[in-house]
Structure formats: structure tokens, C-alpha cells
Amino acid sequence: MSKSSRKIAILFILPVIIFYLVMAIYPFVSMVYESFTNLNLTIPHSGQFIGLSNYFAIFQDPLALSSIDFSAMVIYIAVPVEMILGLVFAYLIRGLKGEKIFRTLFLIPMMIPGIVFGIAAQMIFNYLFGAANYFLSFLGIQPVAWLGQAATAQFVIIFLDVLQWTPFVFLIIYAGLLSVPQDLIDAAKVDGANGWQAFLHVEFPTLKPLIYVALIIRIIDALKIFGKIYMTTWGGPGTATSSWSFYIYKVGVSYGWDIGYASALAVILLIVSTILVNILIRFLNLGEQLGISKEA
């Protein structure tokens, strides 16, 4: 490429670079700096450097610690259920009569925003006129305060997350199943394997990298769960359904305006997400599974 062509190319990409610096890099650097300050929008002349005080305060904050509990609950309950259901549905729908129709219908929940899911949940699980209690009445069961009790409110949030994101896992695994060479399956059947054995010993090993990728993506997204909580339970009752990201919103925007402390919470979330993803990549040996060598 000549120097003049290179200059023209740089001019074309320069607006994108500037936009990225202004909209992504600057806010990130600002957030990290503010996490070391006492910046509070309700206190005049705040914003002085206070070192690691905000970070030390996190470990003494019972609301932050309870947010960790619910975020962890979403990860170790909702994510495994989504992975299993996505795999099962991908296996069952493939080759089924009306496959394209079922596939399209199954993907609809994934295309609905979390806010809309929250509004629908408020109506469905309403104590007085919700559809859930209406159907329970046919079974002679007393109405349940779905959003007014800790256990049931947690169930509702996890149920909504599973309902919305199982299709995402399904889509990845389903695409992987369609890409498995038919010759391998035919060879297994010639050797006497039935459909389940062919899936278990031929198709499933080829799906492992995709399953691992879907798992990592879902864990990262589960750590950021916000919309359903915002529109459904507002973190309640008490702090039963308050996730870490929702607590950041409450501290920094909703009632606290404590930007310094909220920034520290956000930095902790970023650090935990990065460490967790790297541990998973190493533990699952994802680079080798995807055929990415270290030399590359």
C-alpha cells in the first residue's frame, strides 16, 4: 500500500477510532479513576482522592455481599439449566417434522428485551390478578405472593432468565449439530451405533468447543443481569433478588449518587468477570478445543 493510500485509509478509520476513544476508553479510564475518589453528586466539592477506601468498604457492606449471593445463584442454577435444555432441545428438534417452524418459535423469547420480560412477569405473577395464581386456583392451591417472598421472587427471576436465554444456547448447539459431517454419522451407524450412540460418541465431542463458548458467554451475561430485576422485583423483597450490577445502579444512580463507590463496585465486577473467564478458558482448555495454538 502506498503512503497516499495509507493516509486515505487512516482518514476513513479515524472517526471510528475517535468515537471509540470518546465513548469507550475515556469512560472506562474515568470510572477507574473515580473509584479511588469520594465523588458523590449530592455532596458539593466532593471527588477528592481517597485511595482504596471504596474497595475496603465493599467487603464491609452487607448489601454488596448479599448481591454476590444472588448473582452466584443465577450462575450456578440458571446457567446449567440453560445449557442442558439448550442441548436437549437442539437434539430433539433437529430432523423433526416442522423443524423450521419449531426453530423459529423457539427463538422468539431470545429476541424479547429483558425489560419487556420484566413487565410481562409483573402481570403474570401478580398476586391479585396474575395468570400464575389464576391457574393455581383450578388446582385448589391458594394464591402465592410470587414477588413478595424471597424464595419465589428468586425463582421468578431465574425462571425468566432460563426462558429468555435457553434459545441462545439452543441456537449455538443447533448450528453446531447441522455442521457435523454426515459421513461421520453414517460411518458410526454402519459400525452398529444407534442414534443416541452416534450423538454421544461422534456429534457431542465435536460440539464441546461450542458448548464451552456458550457457557462462558452465558456466565458473563448472568453476572450482568439487570433488566428483569429492574422491572420485576427492584431487588426485593429486601435484597433477595439484588444482583451485583443492580446494586451498582442503586448506589450510583437510584438513591445514592455515590459515583466513587459505584465505580469501585463496577471495577470489582470487571475484575471478577475477567478472572472467571480466564479460569474457565484454562480449565476447559478452550484454545486447544477451538484449534487455536499458542504459537498462533
| 290 burial level (CB within 10 Å; 0-12, 13-18, 19+) | middle
b/e code 104-142 from CB counts within 10 Å (16+ = b): eebeebeeeebeebbeebbebbbeeebebbeeeeeeeee
DSSP 8-class letter at 49: B
Task: Please list the rounded mean pLDDT of every run of 10 residues in the chain (296 residues).
Answer: 75 86 89 94 89 93 91 94 93 84 87 82 90 90 91 94 93 89 80 80 85 91 89 89 93 86 94 89 71 52
Nearest one of 91, 99, 86, 248 to 164, comparing CA atoms? 86
Distance of alpha carbon 258 from alpha carbon 191, whole angstroms: 66
Grid cell digits, residue 171:
441456537
Looking at residue 53, its pLDDT comes to 94
Looking at residue 296, its pLDDT comes to 43
Distance of alpha carbon 86 from alpha carbon 80, whole angstroms: 10
- CATH architecture, range 61-289: Orthogonal Bundle (1.10)
Looking at residue 243, its pLDDT comes to 93
- In the chain, CATH 1.10.3720.10 sits at 61-289
Looking at residue 156, its pLDDT comes to 93
- Residue-by-residue DSSP string for 205-258: HHHHHHHHHHHHHHHHHHHT--HHHHHHTTT-STTTT--HHHHHHIIIIIS---
- Report the Cα 174 to chain-centroid distance in Å: 20
CB contact set of 132 (below 8 Å; sequence gap of 6+): 124, 125, 144, 146
> What value, to the nearest 5°, has the Cα angle with vertex 102 and ends 213 and 229?
55
